[in-house]
Amino acid sequence: MRTSTIRIVVQQLPRAGFDEHRSYEACDPIASELDDKAAVKARVNADSMTLTVEVNTDQLLDAATTLRELGLI
């Protein structure tokens, strides 16, 4: 299985209703939204600068569309 990675700067989090200073709190809700809206299984991790979203490459377009709808990209 091939995976693709989407990196999102934490400064984008307030656009989706999350606190950029608590980026780790956004991981589970974002993964749930990807699963619920687009049936995309994603691994979402955070550090102090970025959120990293790992998805199956076959689901990359669906993941990007959902992240765009959330206001993250």
State residue 44's pLDDT score: 97
Spatial separation of the C-alpha atoms in residues 62 and 34, rounded to whole Å: 8
Report pLDDT for 1: 74
Low-confidence ranges of the chain (pLDDT < 50): none
pLDDT given for residue 60 in this prediction: 96
SS3 41: coil
* pTM of structure: 0.90
pLDDT of residue 32: 96
